[in-house]
Amino acid sequence: MRIEIAVNGERREAEIWAGESLLFALREHLGLPGSKNACEQGECGSCSVLLDGKLVCACLVLAAQADGHEVVTVEGLGGDGRLHRVQEAFVETGAVQCGFCTPGLVVAAAALLEQIPDPSDDEIREALSGNLCRCTGYAKIFDAVRLAAAQ
Ligand code: FES
Ligand code: FES
């Protein structure tokens, strides 16, 4: 089947199998490998994207469900050749190690700051609770979100 999705502000079309996930379509048909596939079960958050502004695990959404909708991936967060402030904060605070979790965490943190510009630690913890990181111990990720909120 053919689908049309507004991805990162651009109308994109893809020929997909009806059972394909949005994550697979983004990575394999639309040339957007930023969203990572670490579990494909909705457990890790590495595939987090915004679907009509709502944070979702792209591995749990069918690409067909996104037909006619808007998707923002980590590639589309920044603008005019600039990183999003959350991305800059992750770099500045050293919140990236292997980087596998980073795209999902960046999208989740950006979504949090859209809703709550100055979140408490509990609100950060709650917002990022669906995103697993095996490397950092989360302290620097929290620093990054606090830094981005302060900017
Ligand atoms: S790959 Fe989607 S939640 Fe892990
Ligand atoms: S930096 Fe390696 S999983 Fe988070």
The pLDDT of 25-41, averaged and rounded, is 97
The pLDDT of 111-118, averaged and rounded, is 98
Q: What is the DSSP letter of 23?
A: H
Q: What is the DSSP letter of 82?
A: B
Testing ligand 2's pocket by substitution, the residue of 135, 138, 143 carrying the most ligand atoms inside 8 A of its CB is 135
pLDDT at position 79 is: 87
> b or e along 123-142 (b: 16 or more beta carbons within 10 Å of the residue's beta carbon)?
ebeebbebbbbeebebebbb
- Whether residue 40 has its Cβ less than 6 Å from ligand 1: yes
- pLDDT category, 113, cuts 50, 70, 90? very high
Distance 44 CA to ligand 1 centre (A): 5
pTM: 0.96
Give the tens place of pLDDT for each residue, 40-90: 999 999 999 999 999 999 999 999 999 999 999 999 999 888 999 999 999
Q: CA–CA separation, 94 vs 137, rounded Å?
A: 12
pLDDT at position 128 is: 98
Question: Taking the mean position of all CA atoms in its chain, how far away is CA 124?
Answer: 15
What angle do helix axes 139-150 and 85-93 make, rounded to 10 degrees?
Answer: 130
